[in-house]
Amino acid sequence: MARITTQALAEILEKVQGQLTALSERLDRLEGGAPKAETAPSLPVPETKAPAPEPPPLEISEEELIAISAALGAYLGVRVRIRQIRLVSSPAWAQQGRVSIQASHNLSHS
C-alpha cells in the first residue's frame, strides 16, 4: 500500500476544494443566482428537515367573504347577505365534479 504524505494529502484536498468551488459557482449560475464570494471552508452543516407546509387558515378573510358575496350576487342577480359559511372537506365534491365532466362527453358507440 502506498504511503501518502501530508504534503500530497494537502494537494489533493486543495484540488477537491477547487472542484467544489467550481461546481458551486456553476450551480449558482444554473439556478440564476449571483456567484458567491469565496469563503473559508466551514464545518459540514447537519441536515435539517424542511418546515412542514402551513395548514390552510381556519377562518375566511374579509376579502374572501366579499368575493363570495359578489359571486353569489352576480349569479342570483340580487344582493345577498351571507349569514354563515362552513368550511367542509368532502370527497363528494370531487366525485360530483368528475361525474359532471364525464357526463358532458359525447360517447359514440361503434
pLDDT single digits (tens) 43-89: 666 666 777 777 666 778 889 889 999 999 999 999 888 888 877 77
Q: Can you give the residue ranges of every domain in the chain?
A: 7-36, 62-103
Grid cell for residue 110: 361503434
Structural contact between residues 36 and 28, judged by C-beta atoms closer than 8 angstroms:
yes
**Residues in Cβ contact with 58 at an 8 Å cutoff, skipping those fewer than 6 apart:** 87
Burial class (CB in 10 A: 0-12, 13-18, 19+), 94: exposed
Grid cell, residue 50, equals 424542511
d(CA 59, CA 98): 28
Q: What is the pLDDT of residue 71?
A: 92
Q: In this predicted structure, what is the pLDDT of residue 97?
A: 84
Specify the pTM. 0.32
What is the per-residue pLDDT for 41?
Answer: 60
